Structure formats: structure tokens, C-alpha cells
């Protein structure tokens, strides 16, 4: 009788120990998960607000509209869930993430002192991009080129002095505005079919890289002396 009771309590103890071990393993696994899987945007820098439409905002469902959110680059926690169509005023962000599943056609942002866009990716539906007043706009950090769907790009008031040699202009681009920057040359490799270029108020002093089929060109307020070596017959405005 006693022996039997002892056996039972020994068995109980064994089960208790086993349960405790299982819990401990589980806890350590969960802990390991949190510590070994850093936020995918951690490499952007710490404490950045990343505007994105990837799986961090919610499941990506084919055929459904994408979810948008702003996440903390340190821990991927959601700072803001966003309902938007590209034209609404966005909450504060200072980095751009993977927006490739969004279906936006128009994207406008600006008034920022910093913009990190290392892993940024725009959707193949984007046709118009408008960027204004960004103090440190550095296209060197891009890893994914702008989509070829883009037809109109405005980058204004942004202290932009150079496009990196690796920057790929979307081939279908028709209208480009780069006014009020610090460009020293017309960007290299503009698409041959670019139709309008507004590049006034920069520091240009030559016409190198001028694309061949422009119908509109604004180069006012640059550092040209005298333009004598150009045939402007296709242009209706200078
Ligand atoms: C991001 O998370 C870190 C640590 O979890 C926190 O200290 C920081 O304030 C957060 N930043 C933003 C912008 O929410
Ligand atoms: C994180 O960023 C937010 C907003 O940009 C700022 O208010 C906060 O002080 C920062 N926190 C840390 C720990 O740097
Ligand atoms: C996607 O959003 C548009 C406009 O915001 C709405 O008209 C449409 O019904 C939405 N589609 C789905 C599948 O939710
Ligand atoms: C954002 O939406 C998700 C999913 O709907 C929700 O779990 C989360 O609490 C929301 N976060 C914020 C900051 O609104
Ligand atoms: C962005 O997300 C899409 C869909 O999840 C993925 O296919 C693509 O590789 C991601 N792009 C980048 C640059 O991470
Ligand atoms: C930037 O701020 C100016 C006002 O200073 C405002 O008119 C403009 O719409 C803002 N631009 C963006 C993209 O938020
Ligand atoms: C440009 O953006 C800065 C923030 O980086 C803001 O303080 C300033 O008012 C903006 N300028 C204009 C003309 O909107
Ligand atoms: C953009 O270029 C097209 C020609 O491809 C021209 O018809 C149109 O007027 C231009 N739009 C703007 C806003 O300059
Ligand atoms: C020219 O661009 C600079 C910024 O690069 C700006 O401060 C200035 O107001 C612009 N001038 C005109 C006439 O728009
Ligand atoms: C430029 O336009 C011409 C005439 O429309 C077309 O034949 C050609 O394929 C276009 N080139 C590119 C690179 O899109
Ligand atoms: C653009 O220029 C290229 C080279 O000068 C020429 O072959 C092409 O036909 C032109 N396209 C248009 C639409 O004028």
C-alpha cells in the first residue's frame, strides 16, 4: 500500500519535471526566436520609421488591396496602420520599405531631413512620383531600380547634386522635373523618348547628356554663358 503510494508520487514528480522541462524548452525557443530574428529593416539603422506595404502590415492576399503601415526599424513593431490611396497625407516616416505589393499609381512625399531607402521597392503600377524638399536625398543607397511603369517624375527643392552612375532611368519616362536642386550636369542616361525636362535653377553649365527628343526644356537660372552650339528646332520652349 505504502509502496504503491510512493510509486504514484514518484511518477507524478516525473511528469511534473517533464512538463517543467517542456515549458523551459519552449520559453527558450521563443526567446531565441525573438533575439535571433532581427527586424528585416534593422540594417536601415536604429529607430527609423519605415513606410511599407509588406507582410509586416498584415497578410499579403492576392487580389486584395495591400495593407500599409509604418514600422519601427529596430523591432518591426507597427507604429501606424495606414489607410491610403497615395494622395492622403501620410503620418511621419523617414524610411521607405518594400512597397511592391501596393497598387499605387501616384506617390507624393517630402518635407523630410532624412530619407533612408536602402531596400525600397516601388510597385509596377506606379506612374507618377513626386518628391519635394528632402535635405539628404541619396540615390546611391537604392538596390532596386525604379519601375519601368513610371512616366512622370518630379524631384524638386532637394539639394540633389548627382545621380549615381548606377541609377537606371525608367525607359517609359516622358516628363521629368528636377528644378531647384544642385545638379552640375544633366543626368546621364535619360530615356531617348523623354519629352519634357524642367531642370531650371540648378548649376548646369553644359548640355552634355541632353536627351534627343525633347519637346519642352526649361533650363532657366543655371550657369550657362551663351548657347550657340545647339539646334533647338524641335523645341517649342526654352
Ligand atoms: C522603436 O523601438 C525602440 C525599442 O523597441 C524604441 O526605443 C523606440 O522609441 C521606437 N521608435 C519609434 C519611432 O517608435
Ligand atoms: C526614436 O524616434 C522617435 C521619432 O523619430 C523619437 O521621438 C525618439 O526619441 C527616438 N527614440 C530613441 C530611443 O532614439
Ligand atoms: C481596393 O480599394 C479600392 C479603393 O480604395 C476599392 O474600391 C476596392 O473595392 C478595393 N478592393 C478590394 C478587393 O478590397
Ligand atoms: C495595426 O493593425 C494590426 C492588425 O490589424 C493590429 O494587430 C495592430 O494592433 C494595429 N496597430 C496599430 C498601432 O494600430
Ligand atoms: C518585396 O516583397 C515582394 C513580395 O513579398 C518580394 O517578392 C520582393 O522580393 C521584395 N522585394 C525586396 C526588394 O525585398
Ligand atoms: C511640404 O510643406 C509645404 C508647406 O511648407 C506644403 O505646402 C507641401 O504640400 C508639403 N509637401 C509634402 C509632400 O508634404
Ligand atoms: C522643408 O522640410 C523641412 C523639414 O525637413 C521643413 O522644416 C521646411 O518647412 C520645409 N520647407 C518648405 C518650404 O516646405
Ligand atoms: C508629358 O509629356 C507628354 C508627351 O509625352 C506631353 O504631352 C505632356 O504635356 C507632358 N506633361 C507634362 C505635365 O508636362
Ligand atoms: C533655387 O533653388 C534654391 C535651392 O536650391 C532655392 O533656395 C531658391 O529659392 C530657388 N530659386 C528660385 C528662383 O526658385
Ligand atoms: C521611342 O519612341 C519611338 C516612337 O514612338 C519608338 O519606336 C521607340 O521604340 C521608343 N523607344 C523606346 C526606348 O521606348
Ligand atoms: C528619339 O531619338 C532617337 C535617336 O535620336 C530616334 O531614333 C527616335 O526615333 C526618336 N523618337 C521619337 C519618338 O522621336
SS (H, E, C) 95-138: EECECCCCCCCEEEEEEECCCECCCCECCCCCCEEEEEEECCCC
Structural domain containing residue 73: 31-100
Q: Are residues 158 and 86 in the same domain?
A: no
**Ligand 9 center from residue 135 Cα (angstroms):** 13
| Residue 170 Cα to chain centre, angstroms | 16
Identify the three-state secondary structure at position 62. coil
Structure confidence at residue 225 (pLDDT)? 73
Full-model pTM: 0.84
Residue 213 CB less than 6 A away from ligand 10 = no
Per-residue pLDDT of 166-207, as tens digits, reads 999 999 999 999 999 999 999 999 999 999 999 999 999 889
Return the best residue to mutate from 51, 77, 81 for the ligand 4 pocket (most ligand atoms within 8 A of CB): 81
Total domain count for the chain?
2
pLDDT at 82: 87
Task: Kindly report the protein residue whose alpha carbon is nearest to atom 3 of ligand 7.
Answer: 111
Residue 49 grid cell? 520609421
- Rounded to whole angstroms, the Cα distance separating 157 from 112 reads 11
Residue 36 confidence (pLDDT): 54
pLDDT value, residue 83: 73
State the pLDDT at residue 69: 94
pLDDT at 26: 53
Which portions of the chain are predicted below pLDDT 70? Answer: 1-36, 84-88, 226-238
Index of the ligand 6 atom closest to the CA of residue 133 = 1
Q: Which one of 85, 100, 115 terminates a domain?
A: 100
Which of 100, 118, 136 is where one domain is finished?
A: 100
Q: Are residues 114 and 72 located together in one domain of the fold?
A: no
The residue out of 100, 126, 143 marking a domain boundary is 100
Closest of 228, 220, 227, 153 to residue 190, by C-alpha: 153
pLDDT at 32: 47
Q: Quick one: 53 and 118 in the same domain?
A: no
How is residue 33 written as a grid cell?
Answer: 526566436
* In a domain? residue 3: no
- 50, 70 in Cβ contact below 8 A? yes
Give the distance (Å) from ligand 2 centre to CA of residue 46.
Answer: 9
Burial of 144 (0-12, 13-18, 19+ CB in 10 A): middle
Amino acid at each position: 500500500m505504502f509502496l504503491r503510494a510512493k510509486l504514484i508520487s514518484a511518477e507524478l514528480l516525473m511528469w511534473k519535471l517533464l512538463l517543467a522541462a517542456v515549458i523551459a524548452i519552449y520559453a527558450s525557443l521563443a526567446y531565441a526566436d525573438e533575439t535571433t530574428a532581427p527586424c528585416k529593416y534593422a540594417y536601415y539603422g536604429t529607430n527609423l520609421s519605415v513606410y511599407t506595404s509588406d507582410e509586416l502590415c498584415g497578410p499579403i492576399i492576392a487580389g486584395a488591396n495591400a495593407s500599409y503601415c509604418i514600422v519601427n526599424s529596430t523591432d518591426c513593431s507597427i507604429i501606424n496602420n495606414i489607410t491610403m490611396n497615395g494622395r492622403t497625407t501620410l503620418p511621419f516616416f523617414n524610411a521607405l520599405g518594400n512597397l511592391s505589393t501596393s497598387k499605387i499609381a501616384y506617390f507624393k512625399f517630402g518635407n523630410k531631413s532624412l530619407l533612408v531607402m536602402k531596400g525600397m521597392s516601388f510597385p509596377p503600377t506606379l506612374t507618377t512620383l513626386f518628391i519635394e524638399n528632402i535635405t539628404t536625398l541619396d540615390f546611391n543607397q537604392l538596390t532596386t531600380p525604379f519601375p519601368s511603369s513610371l512616366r512622370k517624375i518630379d524631384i524638386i527643392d532637394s539639394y540633389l547634386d548627382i545621380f549615381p552612375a548606377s541609377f537606371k532611368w525608367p525607359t517609359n519616362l516622358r516628363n521629368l522635373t528636377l528644378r531647384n536642386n544642385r545638379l552640375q550636369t544633366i543626368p546621364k542616361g535619360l530615356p531617348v523618348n523623354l519629352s519634357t525636362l524642367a531642370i531650371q535653377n540648378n548649376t548646369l553649365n553644359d548640355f552634355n547628356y541632353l536627351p534627343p527628343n525633347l519637346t519642352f526644356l526649361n533650363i532657366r537660372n543655371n550657369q550657362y554663358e551663351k548657347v550657340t552650339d545647339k539646334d533647338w528646332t524641335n523645341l517649342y520652349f526654352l
